[in-house]
Amino acid sequence: MTHERDPALRLDPDEAWCEPSMHCTVRIRCARYVATIPAHGARLNDWSVHSANGGTALCLGYLDAAVIRKQVLQAPARRVHPPIGSAS
């Protein structure tokens, strides 16, 4: 790993992370590059090589980190219910 990843930004386990080997102009804004990689089961891809327009905003693997962060912030609040059998 050649850079620090954002521990607050997490991708769905089904998504592939990216470590581009070629020049990538959008790596700082791409969630695949910035997100924390889980300890087990992560797929690492090089979208700069394996995608048309890799390394640009038109990259097929590009995921906007700002959109992912917004989705995390807008997650519905959990409701707390009283215990089963309580008088409330």
Could you give the maximum distance between any two Cα atoms of the chain, in Å? 63
Confidence band for 85, pLDDT divided at 50, 70 and 90:
confident
Distance CA 72, CA 53 (A): 28
Pick 47 or 71 by higher pLDDT.
47
The whole-model pTM stands at 0.71
Q: Which amino acid is at 50?
A: H
Q: Tens digits of per-residue pLDDT, 31-66?
A: 999 998 888 888 988 888 877 787 888 888 889 998
Q: Tens digits of per-residue pLDDT, 12-40?
A: 888 899 988 888 888 889 999 999 888 88
**How many CA within 13 A on the CB side of residue 36?**
9
Domain boundaries, the chain: 16-73
